Amino acid sequence: MAADSLNPIIFDEWKTPKKILIILAHPDDPEFFMGGTIDHWTRCGHHVSYLLLTKGERGVSAEYPDSEALKEIRFHEQADAAHTLGVTEIDYMDHPDGYLEVNLKNRQLLVAEIRRRQPDIVVSCDPQTLIHHFYLNHPDHRAAGQLAVDAVFPAAGNPAFFAEQLKEGLSVTKIEEVWLSLTNDPNIVLDVSAYWETRLEALRKHVSQIGDPDEFVRKWTARRNELSGDRYNEQFRRIFLRVS
């Protein structure tokens, strides 16, 4: 379904607070992919946490050439950015940046992390998106999305998958929904205009990745205006697993 055939909405469908786990590849992915939505969710009283699969050490540049030093820099940038959006819980799995693999071992590890956190909603990115707008999608983004959806269904909620985790004290999950960002096939578009400035404030924290913050904001806002006019939208593929 094309995004321009959907009416952007202000999402207020959940009547009780939800535990929302965002699983993405790199520091800064949450703010770039869905910063306005995250700000909206936390302001509504939902508990949002991040699980990032890498530390982003290959996001090097002339100003930040040292991969090991960059890990620490991006750790602090991500903490500041997330705090701007009302998120304080951030965990990393420390897979190698740029080399994230979709395999059974990594799926098993992610299932354990999901079972440990027991989220109501899991958010990741669409693993089918090779090209988004005019950009090639990073292979880590696609791998993170594939690992997330494969871990959620059927594994995390089925006791026959990775049963040793249950013997170690973990429990199967009762995930209600999966939301996939960075999708070319959205079925929900959120109007995040009211949260756009906060999203930009969060993005400004990722200095190692965006360069000059003021120049970044100017170019980013112009690009978004070209795509969405005077309204700022974030789009998702929303998948229902159970009715609460």
The mean pLDDT of 179-193, rounded to a whole number, is 95
30-55 pLDDT per residue, tens: 999 999 999 999 999 999 999 999 99
Residue 142 has pLDDT above 80, yes or no: yes
Quick one: what percent of the chain has pLDDT higher than 90? 81
Separation between Cα atoms, residue 216 and residue 201, nearest integer Å: 11
pLDDT for residue 4: 56
Of 7, 4, 11, 2, the closest CA to residue 195 belongs to 11
pLDDT for residue 8: 82
CATH number, domain of 67, equals 3.40.50.10320
Residue 170 has pLDDT above 60, yes or no: yes
Of 78, 60, 82, 80, the closest CA to residue 69 belongs to 60
81-103 pLDDT per residue, tens: 999 999 999 999 999 999 999 99
The mean pLDDT of 175-184, rounded to a whole number, is 97
- For residue 135, give both structure tokens: 């950009």
pLDDT for residue 243: 57
Torsion, Cα 24 26 32 34, to 10 degrees, reads 20
pLDDT for residue 111: 98
pLDDT for residue 79: 98
Separation between Cα atoms, residue 66 and residue 60, nearest integer Å: 7
Of 173, 107, 92, the closest CA to residue 143 belongs to 107
The mean pLDDT of 54-74, rounded to a whole number, is 94
Give the pLDDT band (50/70/90) at residue 2.
Answer: low
Torsion, Cα 53 27 187 114, to 10 degrees, reads 30
pLDDT for residue 72: 96
- pTM for the predicted model, two decimal places: 0.94
Expressed as residue numbers, the domain containing 167 is 3-240
Contact 81, 48 (CB under 8 A): no
Summary mean pLDDT of the chain: 92
**3-state secondary structure (DSSP) of residue 190:** strand
Residue 182 has pLDDT above 90, yes or no: yes
Tally of domains in the chain = 1
